[in-house]
Amino acid sequence: MEHVQAAGWPSKTYPPWAEAVDPWLSWSDPDVLMRAVELDRQTLRDVAPSMVINDCRIPMVIAALAEGIQFATICQDNQVPGYCYDGSTIPATWTLPVDAINKVLALLEIDPIADDARWLFARGTMAVPSTAELEPIVGPYVEELDIVHTGLLNKQASTSGSRAADLLFYRTAGSADEEFLAAFADWNGSIYIATGETMVGAAPGEPSRGRVQIGTLWDLDAIGPGLRAVVHHGGHGTTLRCIAEGIPAVVLPGPNPERTANGERAERLGRAIVMHADVNTGPVWGPAVDVTGDRPAWSDVRAALDHLPPRLHSPASQDAADQSSQQLVDLLTTPSSINPHSTFASI
């Protein structure tokens, strides 16, 4: 939001009730979904955009369809229809809302979807914020879907090469407690902890001397050149950014299937080590391990860091460079000859 305000662009924020709605699990309730759709329709009427770019927000997609506005959805591979973590079962996050979605679509006189909520995204452009090299999209319907790779939507930091010694924890350390400080007491570089949400209090001792720095977020363009490694939760953007910039990582996804899949992609490329807690609590789609505590001991994480490969001095993908602003606009707005709505998306 700070960047939007700095650019002088107008912005709107959702009311508190809408902010409190779980963006994945609440759309199974048709009343909640319809209320959110009406809110998004009013937003579109107020703004009157020629196109909507959304981040897999189901009510916004329905609102755009109802208002007849072209849209693109920022997706990753597991948000494409047909993707299954286990190779055969559609994830419950995409099957549970289908009945509620179809009730709302019927009220709006829009064709229903089949057995997968992701067919909503397929009624517009599906934009993957990566490259085909870093994130190939596979599945039974790929050839019939309007999928584009935007390239990474972040700047790439120049590296400090062999001098890189710093460490970033993103959504993995809820605080710098005694166990944490003991495990990383002899780390040579600076240690950054990004909580991702609310600030956490620093433990007494080491953090107060400034070597361990805690913040809500850290600008990778600023600290990236000095990073030796990142310990992160397996989020899509962070995983790809580390791969593209040659930063090795330890991934602590907890029992989240999506984050685990992201981490395993990096692990297959030899650029990460994925670690889980000793006790498997089953699939959990909510908070990261900094909140749940579903992680190995910090001493084990430290041992894994010591076994990571060196940081690459050049990006892993030369194709991961930024699109120019105009190239990105053209990519997302050029009409496609593919019409998955009529072919696959309806029942």
pLDDT value of position 328: 76
Q: Starting at the edge strand that comes first in sequence, how are the strands of the sheet with 249-251 ordered?
A: 212-215, 191-194, 166-170, 227-232, 249-251, 272-274
> Which of residues 190 and 280 earns the better pLDDT score?
190
Provide the CA 263 distance to its chain's centre, in angstroms: 12
pLDDT class of 291 with cuts at 50, 70, 90: confident
Summarize the chain as % helix, strand, coil (round to 5): 40, 10, 50
pLDDT class of 282 with cuts at 50, 70, 90: low
Distance from C-alpha of 314 to C-alpha of 299, rounded to nearest angstrom: 30
Token code pair at residue 79: 């948000």
pLDDT class of 320 with cuts at 50, 70, 90: very low
pLDDT score of 33 more than 50 = yes
pLDDT value of position 135: 86
Tell me where in the chain the CATH 3.40.50.2000 domain(s) lie: 161-318
What is the average pLDDT value for the chain, to the nearest integer? 86
> Which of residues 169 and 22 earns the better pLDDT score?
169
pLDDT value of position 322: 53
Helix (H, G, I), strand (E, B) or coil at 55: coil
Distance from C-alpha of 234 to C-alpha of 247, rounded to nearest angstrom: 14
Residue 185 DSSP label: T
Identify whether the C-beta of residue 95 lies closer than 8 Å to the C-beta of residue 317: no
pLDDT value of position 133: 84
**Mean pLDDT throughout 21-25?**
86
pLDDT score of 38 more than 70 = yes
Strands (E), 139-202: 147-149, 166-170, 191-194
pLDDT score of 203 more than 80 = no
**Mean pLDDT throughout 53-71?**
97
pLDDT class of 247 with cuts at 50, 70, 90: very high
pLDDT class of 8 with cuts at 50, 70, 90: confident
**Phi/psi zone of residue 290: left (φ > 0), alpha (ψ -120 to 50 degrees), beta?**
alpha
Q: Which one, of 134, 150, 141, 149, lies nearest residue 316 by Cα?
A: 134
Token code pair at residue 224: 């990236």
**Mean pLDDT throughout 103-113?**
98
Q: Which one, of 24, 63, 268, 288, lies nearest residue 169 by Cα?
A: 288
> Which of residues 88 and 247 earns the better pLDDT score?
247
DSSP 235-290: -HHHHHHHHHTT--EEE--TT-HHHHHHHHHHHHTTSEEE---SS------SS-HH
pLDDT class of 340 with cuts at 50, 70, 90: very low
The pLDDT tens digits of the residues spanning 134-189 come to 888 988 888 889 999 998 776 555 555 557 899 999 999 978 889 999 999 999 99
What is 161-318's CATH number, 3.40.50.10320, 3.40.50.2000, 3.40.50.300, 3.30.428.10? Answer: 3.40.50.2000
**Mean pLDDT throughout 187-202?**
75
The CATH architecture to which 2-151+323-343 belongs is 3-Layer(aba) Sandwich (3.40)
